[in-house]
């Protein structure tokens, strides 16, 4: 089950007229945040900047790559990035996808809106490969449904 919490960090917009910038965060930047990045890039306007990072990056999970390939989204060239790499860039939306990243997420000097949308960790599912892949598909689909509702609701003027 997903949870959604929104924290508006700042009302000022020194970036008027610039593309919307979204950063997805998760602990390892291996599954949920990578899938969210791929989905958002596929759905958002082409000029938007979408990235993902982790508080403790560990590499992109091959099952996340497979689950996304089923939708025609290629994550093979993605890499896990540390939050430190992106911390001082301006972000309109910083979206945490797991409770650990939400609690560890620092204040972003350039961040305007912080959201937490919790999804279960598909890499925590045990079992054979088919069982684990099905877990990735389920989380992928839940993230996709949320992004398909969220992205169109964003107004560039309020970003």
Q: Domain with 57 in it: what CATH number?
A: 3.40.50.2300
* 26 carries an active-site annotation: yes
Of these ranges, 88-92, 112-116, 119-123, the one predicted with the greatest mean pLDDT is 119-123
Task: Domain count for the chain, please give it.
Answer: 1
Q: Give the span between the Cα atoms of 138 and 131, in whole angstroms.
A: 11
Q: Which residues face 116 on adjacent strands?
A: 5, 96
The pTM of this model reads 0.84
In a domain, 49, yes or no: yes
In a domain, 89, yes or no: yes
Domain span including residue 23: 3-154
* 105 carries an active-site annotation: yes
In a domain, 97, yes or no: yes
Helix (H, G, I), strand (E, B) or coil at 93: strand
The active-site residue out of 105, 117, 139, 142 is 105
Q: Give the span between the Cα atoms of 52 and 38, in whole angstroms.
A: 9
In a domain, 142, yes or no: yes
In a domain, 159, yes or no: no
Q: What is the pLDDT of residue 102?
A: 54
């Amino acid at each position: 089950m997903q949870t959604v919490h929104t924290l508006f960090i700042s009302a000022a917009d020194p970036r008027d007229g610039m593309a919307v910038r979204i950063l997805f965060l998760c602990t390892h930047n291996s599954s949920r945040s990578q899938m969210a990045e791929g989905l958002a890039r596929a759905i958002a306007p082409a000029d938007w900047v979408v990235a993902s990072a982790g508080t403790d990056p560990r590499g992109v999970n091959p099952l996340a790559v497979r689950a996304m390939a089923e939708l025609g989204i290629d994550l093979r060239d993605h890499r896990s990035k540390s939050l430190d790499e992106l911390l001082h860039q301006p972000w309109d939306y910083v979206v945490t996808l797991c409770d650990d990243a939400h609690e560890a997420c620092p204040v972003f000097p350039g961040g305007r809106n912080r959201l937490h949308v919790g999804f279960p960790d598909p890499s925590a599912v045990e079992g054979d490969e088919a069982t684990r892949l099905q877990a990735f598909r389920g989380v992928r689909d839940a993230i996709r449904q949320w992004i398909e509702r969220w992205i169109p609701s964003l107004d560039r003027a309020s970003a």
